[in-house]
Structure formats: C-alpha cells, structure tokens
C-alpha cells in the first residue's frame, strides 16, 4: 500500500462567495450536466462543475436550510429554501415560483416520492418531529373581473346570511357540540367496563376497570381524555394527555367505591375527550357507560322494615327477575318473584314482581335510586323492539323525604356560613390585639401585658376551635350534598315516568338538577328558588296576574318559603295544559336540524343583522319619491 501520510490535497479551482455557506448541494440535469448549488447568509449561488458562476440570487430573508433538484423534462434547477420564519420559497433558477407557510421550523428538508405522491416535501424539526406534506396544485392566475354595481335585495341577502350562518355553525363550530358525526369521523373513541368479578353473588365487586380506546383518523395536535365519576366513586387515574397522536392508544383506570359510602347518586362514568386539531379547532367528544350494579349491591337473604316504596307499571307482561337481574339470581329457578339486595351501607333493597308491576322496597330512600335506575334501564332494553311499550309511575313523589334532605342541606349551609363569619371576626380581633401589643412595646413607660396576653391566648384558642368546627361542618355539608344529590336523581327519574307535559319535563329536570354545588356567594337553594319563582310566574301560573317575567336572584333566608314553592311546582306540573302551545313552539330562526345548542354570540349576530337590514329598508322607503 502507498504511504499517503503528509500528502497535501490541492484544489482544482476556488470561488470566493464572500459570506458563510449554510447549505450545499450537487445536482445533475437531464443532459448529465452538474450544478453546485450553495446558499449563503444573503445569496443563492449556482456554479458549474468547473467553477463558473451560472447565476446568483439575492435573498431578503435569513435561510436556514436548502434542497435542490432537477426535473427530467426541464434543463433548469429547482431550489427549495426554508427561512427562519417558517416560510418555504421555491425558485426556478432565479425566479420565485411559490411560497408557503411551514407548520414547524425545519433543520433539513428533502423531496421524496411515496406511492402515488410525487414530489412530497419531508421536513425534520429540531426536536425530531418528521412532517410529510405536499404543496398542492398549480395556482390559477385568472382574476375575476369586478362586477357591476347592483342594487342589493336585503331580504334575500338576510335569508342567505342566516342560511350560511347555520351551515358554518353546523360544520365548523363543532366545539359547541359534545358529540357529532364530524368528530366521530376524525376521532373514534370506545369505552368498555371490565369488572373484577367475585366468586359469589353475595359479594361485592372490588372495583371495575374502565378502558378508553382512542383511534385518530387524522393527525391531532393535542388530546386530553378525562374520566368523571361522582362520589363516593373514585378512579385511580382521571386525566391522560397525548400530543401529536397518530396511532391507537388505550387509557385504563380502576374505579372503586369509597371505604365508607352512605349512598351513591349514580353509577354513570362519563368520558370526555378534548381534541385540538392540526388546524387549531377545539372539539369535544363525550361518552358515558354504566358500572355494574354489583359494585354497590350484593345479594342477601336478610329482611328489614320497608319504609320506602316505588311502584313501576308496564303495559306488557312482566319479565322474570332472573332475566332482568341474572347476576343476582344465579342457581335459582326462572320463576323468581323477589330478590333482596344489600348495599355497602348495610341497607336492604327488595325488588318484587307482580302482575304488570314492579315494586322496589327499602328501609332508606337513599338506596332506592340505583336499583330503580337499573330496573328502568333493563326494562327499556328488554322491550326495545316493542313500539307500544309504556313504563309509568303513577304514585305520589316522595316529597316529604325530599324536603327533609333539603332542610338538612340548608341547615348545614347555614352552620358553615356562621362559622366562617365567626372565624373572620376572630381573625380581625386577633390582628387588632397584635397591633395593640406592638404599640405597647413601643411605649416609653411600659405597663403590664398580662391581660393582653390572656386575651391573645384566648382568641388564638377560639380560632383553632372554630377552624376545627368548620372543617367538621364542611364534612357534614359534603354528606348532605351527597344525600340531596341522590334523592334528586330519584326524583328526576320518577318525573320522567309521570304524566307530565313533554315540554315541561326538560325544564323540571334542569330546575331540579342533581349536581349540588355550594359556593360562598351562592348556594344550591338560591339557584333553585330563582328557578322555581320563574316557573311559577310564567309557565305554571294559575292566573294572568301572576305572569311576571322578571325574576331576581336573592339569597334564601327562610327555607319554609322554598318548601312551599317546591310543593306548588310538583303539584301543578301534572295539571293539563301547563304550557301553552305558543310558549312551547320555538323560534324558527333558532331551530337547528340537528338540535344543536346555539351560543349567545350567534343569537346576538342574528339580531344585529336583522336590525341592520330593517334600518336599510326604512331608509330606502323614506328616500323613495
């Protein structure tokens, strides 16, 4: 072998470009003629293989990377240059042919071919993200000539504006819709529940695994999957976040019951996927599943005193309980007319089958909710193919028990409010004593501080005791909220089965909402009182003099007045013709084909367009001779 050590390499030619070279490429054209393409800080150079300058192009931006290529049908050089502002410039020799905005800041770019896509643009970012895109079709250079001035038909323009607004709201403002076809085509979400079964029907399920499978059909920038359950249910993992999702992912969480549950408002698990598309459009997909009943109930043979009862009537032959509740009737005959279920708080619920009736008994109203809800769901599922199936509740609502829980919740709220006021007063007193002590220390003739020290110690002790009482009372308030929410769930379930005006039912469900929230400035009773007063003065008014539309929100001071309004609404809701037909009909302008919720901004926009068009019509009428 030849010893090449110490050999000096000499260049054939040299060319001084006068600036730093950022990127360099060598390409061959259709006639096998080579070109050296170099991009500097401010210029684009093209040289031949022998070092002769072909052309130079001055750049008005700062380039960061470049790619050059030639086409077989042309004897020219195409150059792709990316700037530091995420812009892509395409040159044919020295002529700018196209410019586009890149989604990321590239460090390298290439031209590639994938299957039937010729000339795809492959971009690599600093953090390793790889994007493949294409530039689209050739731009159309024909410009539309200006139209002649024509007098506008404002009525026709207004109708077209409303039509276009409806189309845009349906297809592009999907963030207002929780579930729609557009979102399902972009993102498919499947929710499954897998309980950890126990060997015996007399045992509870320890927990359940909720699996959420998310399959994107397009590239999505951000996805947040949230699992929501109501107390006393809790999940191990509630939120999962994904970024730049392209493949199917599965998110799992274990749902269990709290150690000492008193009741459970609902076994419903709600899964919400908040999506941000690559165009920056937010969308939301919402799905819900039911947890198995054995998570909160198990089979028992113990019988207790039945103080509460719910009777459901059907117009079909009754279905055996072994078919409706197979998980609680294992090993028994098909003719099972009664089953007993024990809740986690040792309460017993009995389900009995009679002729065209199902009766649910319990020693506590708080445990009827889940069993009644499960019975309604299973009956509807069993008779899904029967068009004339009717499930009804013809007894009286448990108003007395409901009002007792309202009073309990109101009393707990008042106790919490009193303790907070007392704590504020003691804190102010403690600060005043501290300021007085500081003043005493600064006096030239100090006096005895024994009395001030005792007062400071007593105030501090009162603050600690009040804080402890407040913490205890807040726990009692949470229990009262849970009880009230459970009873509200049962009340709403029974209202749906009663003979109530179909236009009034959704209003009552919204009024007696089972989500009980209390904040320092407004309690659940304040919201309920305002809603009840509006319903009594508008839809359920007995005389024309009571129809006062204006209703103000005030703090409830007397719970007896609230109880009176609750009784009046529940008594009047079954009266015939509660809502007139003109009130039940909706505005045709606001009607949507898919029953979508119209936002306030859309309503204001429609009202503004109406006002402007009406003003123009008045002006045109005035100007006519």
Position 184 pLDDT exceeds 80: no
pLDDT on residue 334:
60
335 — pLDDT class (breaks 50, 70, 90): low
Q: Is residue 424 scored above 90 in pLDDT? A: yes
Instruction: Calculate mean pLDDT across residues 506-533.
Output: 85
Q: Terminal CA-to-CA distance of the chain, rounded, Å?
A: 109
The mean per-residue pLDDT over the stretch 446-452 comes to: 71
pLDDT at 47: 92
**Amino acid 427: pLDDT:** 93
| One-character DSSP codes across 9-32 | P--S-----SS-EEEEEEEE-TTS
pLDDT average, residue stretch 417-444: 87
The domain made up of 21-133 has a fold known as: Methylamine Dehydrogenase; Chain H (2.130.10)
The conformational region for residue 86 under phi > 0 = left, psi -120 to 50 = alpha, else beta, is: left
Least confident of 153-162, 296-305, 597-606: 597-606
Q: How far apart are CA 621 and CA 625, in angstroms?
A: 9
Sheet holding 338-343, edge to edge: 297-299, 338-343, 348-354, 357-362, 308-314, 391-392
What DSSP character marks residue 320? Answer: P
Give CA–CA dist 82/110, Å, rounded.
Answer: 11
Domain 21-133 and domain 303-393, same fold? Reply is no
Neighbours of 588 (CB within 10 A): 6
CATH superfamily placement of domain 183-294? Alpha-macroglobulin, receptor-binding domain (2.60.40.690)
Q: Under CATH, which number does the domain 303-393 receive?
A: 3.30.310.200
Degrees to nearest 5, angle at CA 590 with 588 and 592: 90
On average, the pLDDT of the chain sits at 79
Domain boundaries 399-440+449-574, corresponding CATH code: 1.20.1050
Residue 342 near residue 302, CB atoms below 8 Å: yes
Reported as a single tens digit per residue, the pLDDT across 250-282 is 988 888 887 766 788 888 899 998 888 777 778
* Whole-Å CA distances, 305 to 56, 60, 350, 400: 98, 89, 10, 19
Is the separation of the CB atoms in 54 and 44 below 8 Å?
no
Exposure b/e, 222-260, CB count within 10 A at least 16 = b: ebebbbebbbbbbbeeeebebeebeeeeebebebbbeee
Average pLDDT of the residues in 573-583: 58
**Is residue 40's pLDDT more than 90?**
yes
pLDDT at position 178: 43
pLDDT surpasses 80 at 43: yes
pLDDT at 44 (0 to 100): 93
* Residue 312 in tokens: 């459901």
Percent of the chain with pLDDT over 90: 15
Q: Please, are residues 176 and 170 in contact by the beta-carbon 8 Å criterion? A: no
pLDDT(171) > 80: no
Rounded CA-CA distance 98/583 in Å is 59
Q: Across-strand partners of 522?
A: none
**Helical pair 399-442 and 559-572, crossing angle rounded to 10 deg:** 150
Q: Hey, which residues does 276 pair with through a beta bridge?
A: 222, 282
Mean pLDDT of 211-228: 87
The pLDDT of residue 309 is 85
> Which among 108, 150, 103 has a CA at the least distance from the CA of 128?
108
Contacts of 19 (CB under 8 A, 6+ apart): 40, 41, 42, 43
d(CA 288, CA 268): 7
The residue with greater pLDDT, 55 or 558, is: 55
pTM here is 0.62
HSE-up of residue 360 (Cα within 13 Å, Cβ side): 24
Residue 139's φ and ψ, nearest 5 degrees, are -65, 145
Helix (H) or strand (E) holding 222: strand 220-228
Tokens of 225: 């999957």
pLDDT at 580: 52
- Higher-scoring residue by pLDDT: 146, 219: 219
Burial class of residue 489 in the structure, from the number of CB atoms within 10 Å of its CB (0-12 exposed, 13-18 middle, 19+ buried):
buried
Where exactly are the structural domains of the chain?
21-133, 183-294, 303-393, 399-440+449-574
> What own/partner pairs with CB < 8 Å and gap ≥ 24 does 188-194 have?
188/214, 188/215, 188/216, 188/217, 189/213, 189/214, 189/215, 189/271, 189/273, 189/285, 189/287, 190/215, 191/269, 191/271, 191/287, 191/288, 191/289, 192/289, 193/269, 193/289, 193/290, 193/291, 193/292
* DSSP single-letter state for residue 344: T
What does the pLDDT average to over 532-540?
Answer: 82
Q: Could you give the percent of the chain with pLDDT greater than 70? A: 79
SS (H, E, C) 94-145: CEEEEEEECCCCEEEEEEEEECCEEEEEEEEECCCCEEEECCCCCCCCCCCC
Whole-number Å distance between alpha carbons of 540 and 571: 10
Tens digits of per-residue pLDDT, 9-23? 888 889 998 899 999
Cβ burial, residue 573 (10 Å; 0-12/13-18/19+): buried
596 SS3 class = coil
Confidence of residue 348 (pLDDT cuts 50, 70, 90): confident
More confident residue, 1 or 363: 363
- The DSSP H or E segment spanning 181 is helix 181-186
Residue 423 predicted with pLDDT over 90? yes
Instruction: Provide the phi-psi class of 85: left if phi over 0, else alpha when psi is between -120 and 50, else beta.
Output: alpha
CA atoms within 13 Å, Cβ hemisphere of 420: 11
Rg of the chain on CA atoms, in Å: 37
Instruction: Compute the distance between CA of residue 153 and CA of residue 617 in angstroms, rounded to an integer.
Output: 10
Query: For strand 233-235 and strand 249-257, is the pairing parallel, antiparallel, or unpaired?
Result: antiparallel
Confidence (pLDDT) at 602: 41
């Amino acid at each position: 072998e030849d010893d090449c050590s110490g050999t000096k390499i000499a260049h054939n030619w040299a060319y001084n470009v006068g600036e730093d070279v950022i990127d360099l490429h060598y390409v061959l054209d259709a006639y096998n003629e080579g070109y050296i393409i170099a991009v500097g800080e401010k210029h684009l150079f093209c040289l031949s293989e022998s070092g002769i300058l072909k052309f130079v192009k001055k750049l008005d931006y700062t380039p960061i990377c470049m790619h050059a290529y030639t086409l077989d049908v042309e004897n020219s050089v195409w150059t792709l240059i990316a700037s530091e502002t995420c812009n892509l410039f395409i040159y044919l020799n020295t002529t700018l042919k196209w410019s586009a905005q890149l989604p990321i800041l590239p460090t390298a770019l290439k031209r590639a071919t994938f299957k039937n896509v010729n000339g795809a643009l492959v971009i690599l970012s600093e953090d390793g993200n790889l994007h493949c895109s294409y530039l689209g079709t050739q731009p159309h250079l024909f410009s539309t000539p200006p139209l002649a001035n024509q007098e506008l038909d404002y009525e026709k323009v207004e109708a077209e504006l409303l039509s276009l607004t409806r189309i845009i709201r349906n297809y592009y403002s999907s963030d207002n819709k929780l579930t729609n076809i557009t979102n399902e085509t972009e993102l498919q979400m499947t929710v499954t529940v897998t309980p950890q079964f126990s060997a015996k029907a007399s045992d509870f399920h320890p927990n359940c695994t909720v699996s959420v499978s998310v399959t994107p059909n397009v590239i999505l920038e951000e996805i947040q999957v949230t699992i929501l359950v109501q107390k006393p249910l809790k999940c191990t993992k509630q939120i999962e976040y994904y970024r730049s999702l392209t493949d199917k992912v599965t998110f799992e969480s274990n749902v269990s019951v709290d150690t000492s549950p008193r009741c459970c408002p609902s076994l419903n698990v709600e899964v919400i996927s908040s999506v941000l598309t690559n165009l920056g459009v937010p969308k939301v997909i919402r799905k819900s599943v039911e947890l198995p009943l054995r998570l909160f109930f198990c089979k028992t043979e113990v019988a207790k005193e039945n103080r509460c009862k719910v009777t459901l009537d059907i117009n079909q032959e009754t279905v055996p309980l072994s078919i409706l509740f197979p998980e609680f009737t294992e090993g028994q005959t098909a003719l099972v007319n009664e089953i007993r279920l024990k809740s986690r708080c040792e309460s017993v619920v009995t389900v009995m089958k009679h002729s065209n009736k199902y009766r649910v008994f319990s020693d506590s109203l708080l445990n009827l909710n889940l069993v009644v809800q499960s019975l309604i769901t299973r009956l509807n599922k069993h008779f899904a193919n029967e068009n004339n199936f009717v499930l009804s509740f013809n007894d009286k609502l448990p108003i007395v028990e409901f009002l007792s829980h309202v009073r309990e919740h109101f009393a707990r709220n008042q106790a919490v409010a009193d303790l907070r006021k007392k704590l504020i007063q003691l804190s102010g007193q403690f600060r005043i004593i501290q300021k007085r002590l500081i003043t005493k220390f600064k006096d030239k003739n100090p006096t005895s501080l024994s009395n001030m020290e005792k007062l400071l110690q007593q105030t501090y002790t009162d603050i600690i005791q009040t804080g402890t009482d407040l913490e205890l009372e807040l726990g009692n308030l949470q229990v009262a909220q849970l009880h009230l929410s459970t009873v509200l769930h049962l009340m709403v379930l029974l209202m749906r089965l009663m003979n109530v005006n179909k236009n009034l039912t959704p209003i009552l469900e919204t009024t007696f909402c089972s989500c009980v929230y209390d904040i320092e400035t407004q309690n659940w009773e304040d919201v309920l009182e305002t809603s009840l007063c509006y319903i009594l003065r508008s839809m359920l008014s007995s005389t024309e003099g009571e129809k006062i539309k204006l209703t103000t929100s005030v703090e409830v001071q007397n719970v007896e007045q609230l109880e009176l309004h609750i009784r009046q609404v529940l008594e009047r809701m079954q009266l015939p013709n509660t809502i007139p037909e003109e009130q039940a009909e909706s505005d045709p302008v606001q009607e949507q084909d898919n029953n979508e919720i119209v936002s306030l901004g859309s309503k204001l926009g429609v009202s503004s367009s109406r006002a402007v068009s009406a003003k123009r019509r008045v002006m045109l009428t005035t100007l006519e001779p």
